[in-house]
Amino acid sequence: MALRSVAEAPQTFLVEHYRPGLDAEELGRCVGRVRDAVSDLQREGKPLRFLRSTIVPRDESFLCVLEAGSEHLIRTAYARAGIPFERISTVITDEASFSSSTPWESERKSR
Protein backbone atom coordinates (compact mmCIF):
# COMPACT_ATOMS: atom_id res chain seq x y z
CA MET A 1 0.00 0.00 0.00
CA ALA A 2 1.52 3.32 -1.09
CA LEU A 3 1.75 6.11 1.45
CA ARG A 4 -0.07 9.28 0.54
CA SER A 5 1.82 12.56 0.90
CA VAL A 6 0.71 14.91 3.65
CA ALA A 7 0.12 17.79 1.22
CA GLU A 8 -1.00 17.21 -2.33
CA ALA A 9 0.81 19.03 -5.13
CA PRO A 10 -0.83 22.40 -5.78
CA GLN A 11 -3.27 22.64 -8.66
CA THR A 12 -4.77 25.71 -10.28
CA PHE A 13 -8.55 26.10 -10.18
CA LEU A 14 -10.95 28.42 -12.01
CA VAL A 15 -14.12 29.24 -10.08
CA GLU A 16 -17.07 30.64 -12.04
CA HIS A 17 -19.74 32.90 -10.53
CA TYR A 18 -22.84 34.36 -12.17
CA ARG A 19 -24.72 36.94 -10.09
CA PRO A 20 -27.62 38.51 -12.02
CA GLY A 21 -28.55 41.88 -10.59
CA LEU A 22 -25.15 42.72 -9.11
CA ASP A 23 -23.13 45.64 -10.43
CA ALA A 24 -19.32 45.79 -10.69
CA GLU A 25 -18.94 47.22 -7.18
CA GLU A 26 -21.03 44.46 -5.62
CA LEU A 27 -19.16 41.81 -7.62
CA GLY A 28 -15.90 43.32 -6.34
CA ARG A 29 -17.13 42.97 -2.76
CA CYS A 30 -17.80 39.27 -3.44
CA VAL A 31 -14.23 38.87 -4.69
CA GLY A 32 -12.99 40.62 -1.54
CA ARG A 33 -14.85 38.15 0.67
CA VAL A 34 -13.22 35.23 -1.18
CA ARG A 35 -9.77 36.86 -0.80
CA ASP A 36 -10.37 37.37 2.93
CA ALA A 37 -11.44 33.74 3.41
CA VAL A 38 -8.35 32.52 1.54
CA SER A 39 -6.13 34.76 3.70
CA ASP A 40 -7.72 33.34 6.86
CA LEU A 41 -7.07 29.78 5.70
CA GLN A 42 -3.47 30.65 4.77
CA ARG A 43 -2.90 31.97 8.30
CA GLU A 44 -4.15 28.60 9.54
CA GLY A 45 -1.44 26.92 7.46
CA LYS A 46 -3.62 25.67 4.61
CA PRO A 47 -1.92 25.38 1.19
CA LEU A 48 -4.12 27.82 -0.69
CA ARG A 49 -3.45 30.99 -2.74
CA PHE A 50 -5.71 33.53 -4.42
CA LEU A 51 -4.02 34.27 -7.76
CA ARG A 52 -6.35 36.67 -9.59
CA SER A 53 -9.91 37.52 -10.47
CA THR A 54 -11.72 38.96 -13.45
CA ILE A 55 -15.01 40.83 -13.12
CA VAL A 56 -17.28 40.90 -16.17
CA PRO A 57 -19.87 43.59 -15.33
CA ARG A 58 -21.88 43.22 -18.53
CA ASP A 59 -22.40 39.51 -17.80
CA GLU A 60 -22.93 40.14 -14.06
CA SER A 61 -20.22 37.59 -13.34
CA PHE A 62 -16.72 37.09 -12.04
CA LEU A 63 -14.04 34.44 -12.31
CA CYS A 64 -11.45 33.64 -9.67
CA VAL A 65 -8.22 31.70 -10.15
CA LEU A 66 -6.82 30.00 -7.06
CA GLU A 67 -4.06 27.53 -6.32
CA ALA A 68 -4.64 24.81 -3.74
CA GLY A 69 -3.64 21.32 -2.71
CA SER A 70 -7.18 20.11 -3.34
CA GLU A 71 -10.60 21.18 -4.59
CA HIS A 72 -11.82 20.62 -1.04
CA LEU A 73 -9.75 23.62 0.13
CA ILE A 74 -11.37 25.80 -2.54
CA ARG A 75 -14.81 24.69 -1.38
CA THR A 76 -13.82 25.37 2.24
CA ALA A 77 -12.75 28.93 1.36
CA TYR A 78 -16.02 29.61 -0.46
CA ALA A 79 -18.09 28.19 2.38
CA ARG A 80 -16.24 30.43 4.80
CA ALA A 81 -16.76 33.45 2.51
CA GLY A 82 -20.45 32.64 2.07
CA ILE A 83 -20.12 33.09 -1.69
CA PRO A 84 -21.90 30.62 -3.97
CA PHE A 85 -20.35 29.52 -7.26
CA GLU A 86 -21.51 27.70 -10.34
CA ARG A 87 -18.49 25.59 -11.17
CA ILE A 88 -14.92 24.75 -10.13
CA SER A 89 -12.57 23.50 -12.84
CA THR A 90 -8.95 22.41 -12.70
CA VAL A 91 -7.04 24.50 -15.24
CA ILE A 92 -3.61 24.66 -16.83
CA THR A 93 -2.19 28.17 -17.00
CA ASP A 94 0.27 29.48 -19.54
CA GLU A 95 2.62 31.35 -17.23
CA ALA A 96 4.57 32.71 -20.21
CA SER A 97 1.55 34.85 -21.06
CA PHE A 98 2.01 36.70 -17.76
CA SER A 99 5.44 38.10 -18.63
CA SER A 100 6.33 41.63 -17.61
CA SER A 101 6.00 43.06 -21.11
CA THR A 102 2.97 42.88 -23.32
CA PRO A 103 3.15 42.36 -27.10
CA TRP A 104 2.33 46.01 -27.78
CA GLU A 105 5.07 47.16 -25.37
CA SER A 106 7.60 44.98 -27.20
CA GLU A 107 6.42 46.37 -30.54
CA ARG A 108 6.71 49.95 -29.26
CA LYS A 109 10.26 49.34 -27.96
CA SER A 110 11.39 47.97 -31.34
CA ARG A 111 10.42 51.16 -33.19
DSSP state at residue 95: G
Domain ranges of the chain: 19-93
Q: Is 82 left (phi over 0), alpha (psi -120 to 50) or beta?
A: left
Distance CA 41, CA 63 (A): 20
Across the chain, how many H-helices and E-strands are there? 3, 4
74-83 per-position pLDDT tens digit: 999 999 999 9
Say how far apart CA 29 and CA 101 lie, in whole Å.
Answer: 30
Q: Which of these CATH numbers, 3.30.70, 1.10.20, 3.40.50, 3.30.750, describes 19-93?
A: 3.30.70
- Is residue 103 scored above 80 in pLDDT? no
pTM of this structure: 0.76
